[in-house]
């Protein structure tokens, strides 16, 4: 079995740091021949430099990914340094006998913390408070009825997707005196669920009874627009929606209508259907919406973890073991 792992990406100061971290992680695992290939070269040049590779780690999108894998012929795994793999044609790669793996939860803690931060910010209008102080109006710019400001104590938080991120949201909220429930299509074992402190309920019950709904699912054909008109009509008028997974999981037009008609109280979003968000998107000017620019993962610890986890998977292949964190086509 080859021990060549190709990191395919652009050459810039940021990638130089990431490449160094990956090299250090590969050295810790041992037995890995790491090769860095600039994806700005011609396709033929990229193919030539990927010869003999058994694993490909693309940094960012590469439009010829499937064609590259087919042309090289020796690649067994396409490994991402991110949690999401929706930008990869997993079905086409599966036909070539090539698996796709994600980062094994490298950024799970950062995203979980970000989701809770959005909950807290929505309930206390933290963004408005900061902006009012910075603009020189002190507390005069912090508007809203007193009933719009809350703590999380006693609130029912519904977690859709109790995987690596959702479970960490639950564990971190355990000390916040919330009621935690979850829904997942995956059947987790009893010990795993017990450690989260969350109770399983069906999806409609979660949507209709929770004060906070936080989304932690992959984006695929099953989860596309899983939150749409029907779901927003079911939600409590005082409820807030948190989305730190993928924008298309939420039907944005339905969300805008629900916010405008006050079917729900607000939304905290790190992701949108179109990114960067279009300047004329109504969500940007709504007082009951907080938007961050898809940076929930942005923490140095996420990058350290991603470098190590991806090289750990490379090591498994080199040793003839099965890689972990495989994402199947849906």
Any idea which residues carry the catalytic annotation?
246, 275, 294
What's the rounded Cα separation, in Å, for the pair 204 and 306? 35
Q: Is-contact 56 75, C-beta < 8 A?
A: yes
Residue 36, SS3?
strand
Beta strands, E only, the chain: 4-9, 33-38, 55-58, 77-79, 99-101, 156-160, 179-183, 199-200, 212-215, 240-243, 266-269, 289-291
What's the rounded Cα separation, in Å, for the pair 38 and 20? 15
What's the rounded Cα separation, in Å, for the pair 183 and 4? 40
Q: Is the Cα dihedral 82, 83, 87, 91 positive or negative?
A: positive
What's the rounded Cα separation, in Å, for the pair 188 and 40? 42
């Amino acid at each position: 079995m080859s021990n060549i792992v190709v990191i395919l990406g652009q050459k810039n100061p940021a990638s130089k740091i990431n490449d160094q971290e990956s090299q250090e992680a590969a050295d810790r695992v041992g037995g890995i021949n790491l090769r860095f290939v600039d994806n700005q070269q011609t396709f033929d040049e990229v193919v030539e430099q990927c010869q003999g590779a058994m694993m490909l780690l693309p940094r960012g999108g590469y439009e010829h990914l499937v064609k590259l894998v087919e042309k090289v012929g020796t690649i067994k795994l396409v490994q991402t340094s991110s949690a999401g793999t929706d930008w990869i044609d997993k079905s086409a790669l599966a036909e070539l006998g090539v698996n796709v793996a994600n980062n094994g939860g490298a950024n799970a803690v950062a995203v979980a913390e970000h989701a809770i931060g959005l909950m807290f910010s929505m309930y206390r209008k933290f963004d408005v408070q900061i902006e009012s102080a910075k603009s020189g109006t002190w507390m005069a710019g912090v508007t809203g009825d007193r009933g719009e400001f809350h703590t999380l104590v006693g609130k029912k938080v519904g977690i859709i997707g109790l995987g690596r991120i959702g479970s960490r949201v639950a564990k971190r909220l355990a000390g916040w005196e919330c009621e935690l429930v979850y829904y997942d299509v995956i059947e987790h074992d009893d010990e795993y669920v017990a450690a989260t402190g969350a109770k399983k309920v069906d999806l409609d019950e979660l949507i209709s009874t929770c004060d906070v709904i936080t989304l932690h699912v992959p984006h695929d054909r099953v989860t596309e627009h899983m939150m749409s008109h029907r779901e927003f009509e079911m939600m409590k008028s005082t409820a807030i929606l948190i989305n730190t997974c993928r924008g298309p999981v939420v039907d944005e037009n339905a969300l805008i209508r629900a916010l405008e008609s006050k079917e729900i109280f607000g939304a905290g979003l790190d992701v949108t259907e179109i990114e960067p968000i279009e300047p004329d998107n109504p969500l940007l000017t709504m007082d009951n919406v907080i938007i961050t620019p898809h940076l929930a993962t942005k923490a140095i610890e996420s990058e350290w973890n991603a470098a190590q986890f991806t090289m750990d998977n490379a090591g498994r292949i080199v040793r003839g073991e099965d890689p972990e964190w495989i994402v199947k086509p849906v």
